[in-house]
Amino acid sequence: MNGFVSIAFALALSAASVNLAKADQRGPDWMPALHVIDKVLNSGYTHVTKLEADDGGWEGEGVKKGQKMEFHAEPKTGVITSKKLDD
């Protein structure tokens, strides 16, 4: 019985890791990264240093008004949904 429990546990961990990997991938209906960068730059950022898919949306870092910022953008429209100073 212990062998069965170990196998079941291993399968559960594998399934969880697949779901986590999907959360950090761009969806098929997402705005392309270059378009998101254009929107971010048009919203007052002077430089985008990082942009990646994370937790179901775009997450990035850039410079706005001389300060390093971290931001999140809506995946389908590229609209910034939150921003904060990057420590």
> What fold characterizes domain 2-85?
Nuclear Transport Factor 2; Chain: A, (3.10.450)
- Nearest CA among 34, 20, 21 for reference residue 73: 34
- pTM for the full model? 0.71
pLDDT on residue 54: 94
Q: How many CA atoms lie within 13 A of 37 on its CB side?
A: 13
pLDDT on residue 24: 79
pLDDT on residue 7: 52
pLDDT on residue 47: 96
Domain ranges of the chain: 2-85
Residue 8 pLDDT greater than 90, yes or no: no
pLDDT digits (tens, 9 = 90+) for 54-83: 999 999 999 999 999 999 999 999 999 999
Q: Percent helix, strand, coil in the chain (nearest 5)?
A: 35, 35, 30
